[in-house]
Chain A
Amino acid sequence: MSRTSKYFTMTFVILAFALGIFASTYFRAGNEPQIPAEQAETKGIVNIYTARHYGVEQVFEAFTAETGIAVRFTTGSDAILRERIKAEGKFTPADVYLAVDAGNLWLAAEEGLLSPVESEVLTYNIPENMRDTENQWFGLTKRVRTILYHPDRVSPAELSTYEALADSKWQGRLAMRPATHAYTQSLVASMIAAHGEARTREVVQGWVANQPTLIDSDTRILETLAAGGADVAITNHYYLGRLLEANPAFPIRVFWANQNERGAHVNISGGGVTAHSPNRENAIRLLEWLASPQGQKLFADSNHEFPANPAVLPHPIIAEFGSFVADPINMGEFGRLQADAIKLLDEAGYR
């Protein structure tokens, strides 16, 4: 046998092996959920497409333990999961779409991927501005995008609003998230809703003129503040919660923005029942449980977020940040104004 034919044989053997594995697993695995037959008969399952994947396992396990309904979930980014639900159409396995950022929920409803849910439990537990006007989606946890500072270099008396960070005294002292991220886009969308485009443009241009350090990770922004790379930043509150849990001596402090006017910018993570949900009853059951005090506690605490249900107390670490006034805007507006916000950011030179 010549060398080349040895090569060939070896390649062939490897590839045949690959095909074998592929064929056996494909035909064996299928797409069936692996749950006890007994449970499947009585309580059934609920399938979730979730863009929120930090600490969701324990929450779903608690739901199964309480209701007997098995949970299967698959993760993905918000936009990717929406495209998938759209392509699967009436055969979609997804019962529930869980997303972060209200804009994504708004768009899912806009594209007809969700269905209205009439549930007294949900309307009682979730404040009106945190759910869809037609009850197609419901907010479940609150994340506050606010101002953070290093107390050695900034006094809280110097801080007031997001808009005030456009002042030239913050030249070279800001750290912010790039325009590509939904967090920045929703914040700007809320400013457009409050002030209109012209005033918002001035503010964003002011931020840009201060040459902020742009970092595409809220955690890294906070670490940069701590290391002295910037003095003031805008991030979500729970990233500080996480860092404080790992290191209680972490030096960065929270300042609740815009407290003397519309309030701090609050966004949500939330979910809705899909339009072609095969297990609709269970899907509604899951959302109701997530909105209940027990589900809220687990779901919000797993990520140091504020529960959407006002009756539930926040995690002790973030409770220490103090109470705050939230911008009462309906969160669907973030979705409606998101494209405008991006155009404005592009035009103002915010990258």
Chain B
Amino acid sequence: MKTITAKRTLIKHGQGLRSLPVLPLFLAILIVLPVLVVISALLTPTWEVWSHLAQTILPEMIKNTLLLLAGVGAGTLFLGVGLAWLVTTYRFPGRKILELLLLLPMAVPTYVQGFVYMATFDIAGPLQTFLRRYFTDLTWFPEIRSGGGAILVMTLVLYPYVYLLAKAAFREQSGSLIEAARVMGYGSSHIFFRIVLPLARPSIAAGVALAIMEALADFATVRFFNFPTLSDGVIRVWHGMMDLRAASELAGLLAFAALAIVLLEHALRGRTRYYQTGGKAPGIMPVALQGWRGWLITLSCLLVVAVAFLLPLTQLAAWTWNELPRLPEGTMSVYAQLIRNTLILSLSAAFFVTICALLLASSIRLNGSSIGFLLAKLATSGYAVPGAVIAVGVIVPLSAFDHALNNLLEAWLGVTPGLLLTGSIIGLIYAYVVRFMAVSFNSVDSSLEKITPNITSAAQILGAKPWRVAWKIHLPLVAPGMLAGAILVFVDVMKELPITVMLRPFGYDTLAVWVWQMAAESIWAGASLPALAIVLVGLLPIIFLTRVASRNN
């Protein structure tokens, strides 16, 4: 009798499950809409532009894009996983502080790292100027304006994504498994490649996918480095040939590339599922390294921190120092306003992106349909589309809505309220949700993935309604993933440029907008103060995140 009751309950709630995704479905459609607006341009291709591109620059752009993705993918994988492994499994001098410092390059916007590196290492920069005193011939000095330079700069700011997620994944692993392997006499490389790495695979894949998609969407940095990629091509066709349609078609191609990356990442996770079972096992016990071995690790970590974080920080601080006497009066109150605007946008974007990601991820997991899966993947592809294109994809439906509403109200009531969404904070946050959904979704989803279905089934069999399952059981389990995702989004929105420039309310300036205004005129010294402010404000949530994580440890 008991089994039959259980079955009935299941069936009943099975129907409940199907009715659950109405809100998430609506949400997913809203998020996918701007990407679809962009992709839909592909339906009516502008052959003239395509054949011109194919005959001239498209092959080079595709080659460069693949090189960039391979380089940034390999670089962030190596640095992110390697460093995470070092700080998790070894005890060495300064480990605590280095563990935190290694995250900080994340706060440096890619374009800022780009112009600092160029200003430091190009022909007119201080390093080559110094070297010219001792060498007459400097042709051996590698050219920073190159694909290699772009890959280096992007790897240095993007590896923390992989580092953060890999470290969390290593932390979650049960130390007893590794102890067992150690007792059985396996070496640390064996343990790493056969046990730790496969277990951490979903998180690492998620991190690398984020880094790659970010590199795919970048169009400012690659332009500094004379390395035309597909994203650069989008802006080239739009701003140069003044052809937004053809640019959207190219951007549609990017969205498909993003979809391919997301699906590849999913495939890389493999069909095997890894679940945390039982209670929280003690984590991996770090091995203390004595003498020079320990110091060697300290030194390698320090080197990464120095080139990825201290170098840009020092350069920006030096420029700012020179600029300070020239600042007009009232600058401080302007900056207070800029910082306030930046914080408001970043915090509210982090909030809304996280809520949407949670709703989407959990409902799709509960629902388990393949359409939902595809929709979710489509909803995260905005991360690989250049922000400027997302901005257009957002402003088109928003203004259409505004104009339609005005027409209706005028016909019915004779009033025109004007633009409600276009050029409002709501429109801006909407665009952020579309652009950064992947960041939050991936962290939430990889946490959700580790929840064993047994927990869900148990709760359902005990008669819990779907909302209750999500609220009482899933939410507490994914809270760490949500927090990590929210902070990543926060930092990303602080650094975001094209969407903010295009969709912000009239005269609503942020730190990033000020950096852009100066950098566009190549007044790098003038851009240094707002850039420094972005880095410093961005540090706060990152430090907060690590504090919370280490307390949890």
Contacts and interface: CB of A to CB of B under 8 A. Distances in A.
A180 B232 contact: yes
A83 B348 contact: no
A72 B122 CA distance: 39
A29 B340 CA distance: 13
Interface stretch (A215-223, A287-295, A306-314): A215-223
Contact of B517 (A11, A75, A179): A75
Interface residues of A, number: 68
B479 A91 contact: no
Interface string B476-518: 1101101100100000000000100110111111000100010
Interface stretch (B6-14, B22-30, B223-231, B302-310): B223-231
B422 interface: yes
Contact of B548 (A7, A84, A180, A185): A7
Contact of B506 (A74, A80, A91): A74
B90 interface: no
B248 to A, nearest CB: 11
Given A80-B498, A343-B52, A224 B122 contact: yes
B117 to A, nearest CB: 13
B423 A88 contact: yes
Interface string A205-228: 000000001111111100110111
A281 interface: no
A62 interface: no
B424 interface: yes
A88 B243 contact: no
Contact of B241 (A213, A220, A239, A339): A339
Interface in B129-168: 129, 132, 145
Nearest to A14: B486
Contact of B479 (A7, A17, A217, A227): A7
A79 B388 CA distance: 10
A178 interface: yes
A214 B350 CA distance: 39
B78 interface: no
Contact of A83 (B55, B480, B502, B522): B502
A347 B55 CA distance: 8
B242 A11 contact: no
Contacts of A217: 522
A15 to B, nearest CB: 5
A89 interface: yes
A88 B391 contact: no
Contact of A342 (B240, B403, B479): B240
Given A87-B395, A178-B223, A346 B57 contact: yes
Judged by DSSP, the binding face of A is helix
B315 interface: no
B548 A22 contact: no
Contacts, number: 186
B475 interface: yes
Contacts of A182: 239-240
Given A79-B238, A83-B502, A220 B522 contact: yes
A45 to B, nearest CB: 11
A53 B517 contact: yes
A314 to B, nearest CB: 19
A214 B225 CA distance: 9
B462 interface: no
Contact of A8 (B354, B403, B423, B475): B475
A91 B406 contact: yes
Contacts of A153: none
B425 interface: yes
Given A72-B507, A180-B232, A220 B124 contact: yes
Interface string A28-53: 01010000000000000001000001
Nearest to B519: A217
A22 B344 CA distance: 6
Contact of B145 (A14, A84, A214): A214
Size class of the B contact interface (CB-based, 8 Å) = 35 or more
Interface string B93-132: 0000000000000000000000000110011100011001
Contacts of B523: 54, 219
B85 interface: no
Most buried by B among A18, A47, A226, A229: A18
A93 interface: yes
Nearest to A21: B344
A75 B520 CA distance: 12
Nearest to A84: B502
A25 interface: yes
A26 B479 contact: no
Given A3-B552, A351-B228, A18 B347 contact: yes
A223 B124 CA distance: 6
Contact of B486 (A15, A21, A213, A224): A15
Contact of B399 (A14, A79, A87): A87
B351 A76 contact: no
A49 to B, nearest CB: 9
B440 to A, nearest CB: 12
A170 interface: no
Contacts of A2: 476
Interface string B210-233: 000000000000011010100010
B244 interface: yes
B356 interface: no
Contacts of A88: 399, 419, 422-423
B426 interface: yes
Given A21-B344, A22-B347, A178-B223, A91 B391 contact: no
A4 interface: yes
A107 interface: yes
A157 interface: no
A303 B319 CA distance: 21
A247 interface: no
B522 A25 contact: no
A11 B541 CA distance: 12
Contacts of B480: 4, 7
A10 interface: yes
Interface centre among B118, B347, B508, B523 (most CB of A within 10 A): B347
Given A7-B480, A19-B351, A87-B422, 8 more contacts: A22-B351, A77-B239, A80-B502, A91-B422, A180-B223, A227-B123, A228-B123, A338-B240
What are the 5 A-B residue pairs with the smallest beta carbon separation, nearest first?
A229-B123, A22-B348, A18-B347, A217-B522, A87-B399
Interface of A: 2-5, 7-8, 10-11, 14-15, 17-19, 21-22, 25-26, 29, 31, 47, 53-54, 72-80, 83-84, 87-89, 91, 93, 103, 107, 178-180, 182, 185, 213-220, 223-224, 226-229, 239, 335, 338-339, 342-343, 346-347, 351
24 contacts: A4-B476, A4-B477, A7-B548, A10-B483, A15-B354, A22-B429, A25-B344, A26-B426, A31-B423, A31-B506, A53-B520, A73-B507, A74-B507, A79-B242, A87-B399, A87-B422, A91-B403, A91-B418, A180-B235, A214-B226, A335-B242, A342-B240, A346-B53, A347-B56
